[in-house]
């Protein structure tokens, strides 16, 4: 899991997190044990649907302001470390 | 014509499915009001939503949903209640570290696409998702593997896409190309996308595998990316199929992986630098609510769908146009003109020849069906040679006007038979060697000499002679010198 999230932990941290994750999994097991035969599956907890907006252009941000947030920028673009592998 | 790729042995069968991404022709992005426009200065169409800044919330573009449903219906898909999910991954082309897509509840599923040759490719799904930003790899060769650093432009991040996933129903290289071509034709016909492969508004990935001919199994597939044209698609599928056959026949097996097409090298290259865990940890995006498209809305979309390419080809075929020519006419959007000209009495074959085979005119707005029919009639009656007919049509397209008037203005009239005979006799006298070979020759050599002599007559008459008439005269003279 830490590998997927590209995170590094010490052994002590891993011990602590393993305990926390076990609690989360225990909760999931509790939920799975419930009898939900009468319930209809829903995609979203809120009873909302079809929230859309019209296809109208709104102003974008100022580029200098945007790039000022980046650690490094070059030629109007974000400069990032060399990307190994490929886009998924 | 694209060059033929060497095919795989008949004992093997090709199995291909396509994943086609098309950018929807909306004014704005999928979840924010930034402009969806190709070619703008980098990072000028970005906002807190598409930059993934904290506190920003996505709201779905109604027009994108409408176009996606139109696309789904054009592909015969069922439209269901759909939901958005987050696909989590680490790559700087998405600043959020996830891409919003549809996972287990796509908007469109289970459709079909009929190709010009009459075969049918199943459509598994056509779901809505957002496009990613554009990364440029800076380094020695601009390639991923030798990049020193990368630059990212987020103008494209969040642009609405539909990903169309076909079933693995494709069995030949030609069919793979035809399938992508037909999808492009459908997209443009319904106005869902401009589907330009060269600009990246349509991108095709191919899942390729092979199996022993006659077996129904599905073997390990490779996904080939970076296909920027139908030609690349055909070459890459052919290459990959040969590679798989080679591996199986050597007692090895292909590894399931993503591969990149190297256009200049004419080969595919493994995309993964190392074995990686693939788990996108999809989950429903809590910031977005489900989309429902009710039956009435679908019926409205259906009613507004234009006639699709397959039906338009069928219409041309019914009017007497040959299948292959019909596909070309529809591809160029000139079926309306051809059908009207045929209705006005034109010969279908001749009309199609003039419209698609000889001439690539940009602007046909000045050419009327009646004018085209009259032109075809003059050519058929021998009043214009093929060469002259082409010139008249070009002039009609440029300045408008009736073909008879244009022909007169250009000084075209069919050559009097006597003048034509004189021209033929002059050519025969000037080329006795070729003439003897024509008279004595058989098959190919005779054909070659006929071509040579006819060409000389055409040159001597500056294209005024009718090729068929010259051929007839040559044959007559050979029999009765």
Q: Could you report the predicted ipTM of this complex, rounded to two decimals? A: 0.81
- What letter does residue B199 receive in the DSSP assignment? G
CA angle, B278 then B280 then B282, to 5°: 150
> Cβ contacts (< 8 Å) between B281 and chain A: which residues?
4
Strands B202-212, B12-23: parallel, antiparallel or unpaired by DSSP? antiparallel
Q: CA B366, CA B401: separation in Å to the nearest integer? A: 8
Of B26, B63, B149, the CB nearest to A80: B149
Nearest to B170 by CA among B221, B128, B108, B226: B221
Neighbours of B275 (CB within 10 A): 8
Is-contact B23 B201, C-beta < 8 A? yes
Please identify, among B302, B323, B351, the residue that sits at the C-terminal boundary of a domain.
B302
Pairwise CB contact (< 8 Å): A52 & B62: yes
Pairwise CB contact (< 8 Å): B289 & A55: no
Find tokens 């958005």 and name the residue. Answer: B84
Taking residues B327-347, report their average pLDDT.
86
Enter the tokens of residue B215.
């077996």
CATH (domain of B463): 1.10.10
Is-contact B266 B230, C-beta < 8 A? no
On whether both B298 and B432 belong to a single domain, the answer is: no
On whether both B88 and B221 belong to a single domain, the answer is: yes
**Residue B100 backbone phi and psi in degrees, to 5:** -85, 125
Find tokens 């219906």 and name the residue. Answer: B73
Nearest-Cα distance to chain A for B27, in Å, is 6
Q: How confident is the model at residue B1 (pLDDT cuts 50, 70, 90)?
A: very low
Residue B26: per-residue pLDDT:
97
Q: CA B94, CA A80: separation in Å to the nearest integer? A: 12
The residues in B 154-213 lying below 8 A from A, measured between CB atoms, are 154
Asked whether residue B39 is assigned to any structural domain, the reply reads yes
Q: CA B337, CA A13: separation in Å to the nearest integer? A: 73
Neighbours of B215 (CB within 10 A): 10
Residue boundaries of the structural domains of chain A: 1-35
Is B60 an 8 Å CB contact of chain A?
yes
Candidates A45, A71, A83, partner chain B, best to mutate (most B CBs within 10 A): A83
Q: How confident is the model at residue B2 (pLDDT cuts 50, 70, 90)?
A: very low
Q: B238 burial class (0-12, 13-18, 19+ CB within 10 angstroms)?
A: buried
Is-contact B165 B122, C-beta < 8 A? no
B249-to-B243, B244, B422 alpha-carbon distances in Å: 10, 8, 66
Pairwise CB contact (< 8 Å): B151 & A43: no
On the question of pLDDT at B180 being above 90, the answer is: yes
Determine the 3-state secondary structure of B6 from DSSP.
coil
DSSP-assigned beta bridge partners for residue A78: A73, B152
Please identify, among B267, B302, B337, the residue that sits at the C-terminal boundary of a domain.
B302
Enter the tokens of residue A7.
């995170």
Nearest-Cα distance to chain B for A65, in Å, is 11
Determine the 3-state secondary structure of B367 from DSSP.
coil
Find tokens 């095709």 and name the residue. Answer: B204
> Cβ contacts (< 8 Å) between B65 and chain A: which residues?
52
On the question of pLDDT at A7 being above 70, the answer is: yes
Nearest-Cα distance to chain A for B276, in Å, is 9
Closest residue, chain B, to A58 (C-alpha): B33
For the stretch B180-189, what's the b/e string if a residue is b when 16 or more beta carbons lie within 10 angstroms of its beta carbon?
bbbbbbbbbb
Domain of residue B399 covers 307-409
Of B89, B139, B149, the CB nearest to A88: B89
Q: Mean pLDDT of all residues in chain B? A: 88
Is B271 an 8 Å CB contact of chain A?
yes
Asked whether residue B131 is assigned to any structural domain, the reply reads yes
On whether both B141 and B91 belong to a single domain, the answer is: yes
On whether both B404 and B289 belong to a single domain, the answer is: no
Residue B274: per-residue pLDDT:
43
Taking residues B336-352, report their average pLDDT.
88
On whether both B255 and B142 belong to a single domain, the answer is: yes
DSSP-assigned beta bridge partners for residue B197: none
Q: How confident is the model at residue B275 (pLDDT cuts 50, 70, 90)?
A: very low
Of A6, A52, A61, the CB nearest to B60: A52
On the question of pLDDT at A48 being above 60, the answer is: yes
* Element housing B427 (H / E): helix B417-430
Question: How many structural domains are present in chain B?
Answer: 3
Enter the tokens of residue B217.
């199994």
Neighbours of B450 (CB within 10 A): 18
Determine the 3-state secondary structure of B76 from DSSP.
coil
B310-to-B67, B73, B91, B121 alpha-carbon distances in Å: 20, 14, 40, 13
> Cβ contacts (< 8 Å) between B147 and chain A: which residues?
82-83
Nearest-Cα distance to chain B for A57, in Å, is 5
A46 compared with A56, residue with greater pLDDT: A56
Count Cβ–Cβ pairs < 8 Å, chain A vs chain B: 153
On the question of pLDDT at B273 being above 50, the answer is: no
On whether both B253 and B117 belong to a single domain, the answer is: yes
Pairwise CB contact (< 8 Å): B33 & A53: yes
> Cβ contacts (< 8 Å) between B139 and chain A: which residues?
82
For the stretch B299-336, what's the b/e string if a residue is b when 16 or more beta carbons lie within 10 angstroms of its beta carbon?
eebeeeeeebbbebbbbbeebebeeebbbbbbbeebbe
Is-contact B114 B330, C-beta < 8 A? no
Please identify, among B285, B302, B319, the residue that sits at the C-terminal boundary of a domain.
B302
Is B147 an 8 Å CB contact of chain A?
yes
For the sheet containing B98-101, what is the strand order? Answer: B98-101, B85-88, B283-284
On the question of pLDDT at B6 being above 70, the answer is: no
On whether both B431 and B394 belong to a single domain, the answer is: no
On whether both B163 and B283 belong to a single domain, the answer is: yes
Of A49, A56, A83, the CB nearest to B137: A83
């Amino acid at each position: 899991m830490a590998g997927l999230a590209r995170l590094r932990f010490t052994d002590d941290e891993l011990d602590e997190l393993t305990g926390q994750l076990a609690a989360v999994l225990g909760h999931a097991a509790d939920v799975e044990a419930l009898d939900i035969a009468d319930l209809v599956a829903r995609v979203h907890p809120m009873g909302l649907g079809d929230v859309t907006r019209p296809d109208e252009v709104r102003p974008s941000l100022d580029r200098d302001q945007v790039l000022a947030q980046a650690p490094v920028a070059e030629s109007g673009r974000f400069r990032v470390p060399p990307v190994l592998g490929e886009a998924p | 014509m694209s060059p033929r790729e060497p095919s795989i042995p008949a004992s093997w069968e090709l199995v291909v499915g396509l994943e086609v991404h098309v950018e929807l022709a909306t004014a704005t992005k999928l979840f924010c009001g930034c402009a969806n426009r190709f070619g703008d200065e980098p990072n000028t169409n970005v906002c807190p939503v598409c930059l993934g800044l904290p506190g920003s919330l996505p709201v779905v573009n109604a027009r994108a949903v409408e176009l996606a449903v139109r696309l789904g219906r054009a592909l015969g898909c069922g439209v269901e209640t759909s939901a958005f999910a987050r696909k989590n991954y680490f790559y700087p082309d998405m600043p959020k570290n996830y891409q919003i897509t549809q996972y287990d509840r796509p908007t469109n599923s289970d459709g079909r696409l009929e190709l010009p040759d009459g075969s049918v490719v199943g459509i598994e799904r056509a779901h809505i998702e957002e496009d990613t930003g554009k990364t440029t790899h800076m380094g020695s060769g601009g390639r991923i593997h030798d990049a020193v650093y990368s630059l990212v432009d987020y103008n494209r991040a969040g642009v609405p896409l539909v990903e169309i996933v076909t079933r693995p129903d494709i069995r030949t290289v030609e069919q793979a190309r035809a399938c992508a071509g037909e999808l492009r034709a459908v997209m443009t016909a319904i106005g869902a996308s401009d589907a330009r492969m060269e600009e990246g508004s349509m991108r095709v990935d191919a899942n390729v595998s092979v199996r022993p001919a006659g077996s129904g199994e599905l073997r390990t597939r490779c996904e080939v990316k970076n296909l920027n044209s139908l030609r690349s698609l055909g070459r890459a599928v052919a290459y990959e199929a040969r590679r798989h056959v080679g591996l199986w026949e050597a007692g090895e097996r292909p590894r399931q992986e993503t591969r990149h097409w190297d256009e200049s090298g004419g080969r595919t290259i493994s995309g993964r630098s190392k074995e990686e865990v693939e788990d996108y940890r999809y989950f429903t995006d809590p910031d977005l609510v489900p989309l429902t498209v009710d039956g009435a809305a679908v019926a409205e979309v259906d009613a507004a769908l234009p006639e699709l390419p397959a039906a338009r080809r069928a219409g041309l075929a019914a009017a007497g146009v040959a299948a292959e020519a019909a596909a070309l006419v529809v591809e160029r959007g000139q079926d309306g003109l051809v059908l009207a000209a045929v209705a006005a009495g034109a010969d279908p074959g001749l009309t199609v020849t003039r419209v698609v085979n000889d001439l690539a005119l940009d602007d046909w707005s000045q050419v009327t069906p009646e004018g085209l029919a009259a032109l075809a009639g003059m050519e058929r009656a021998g009043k214009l040679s093929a060469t002259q007919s082409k010139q008249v049509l070009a002039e009609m397209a440029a300045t408008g006007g009736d073909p008879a008037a244009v022909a007169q203005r250009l000084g075209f009239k069919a050559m009097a038979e006597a003048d034509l005979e004189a021209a033929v006799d002059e050519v025969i006298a000037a080329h006795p060697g070729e003439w003897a070979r024509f008279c004595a020759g058989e098959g190919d050599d005779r054909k070659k000499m006929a071509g040579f002599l006819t060409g000389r007559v055409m040159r001597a008459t500056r294209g005024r002679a009718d090729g068929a008439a010259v051929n007839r005269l040559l044959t007559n003279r050979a029999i009765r010198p």
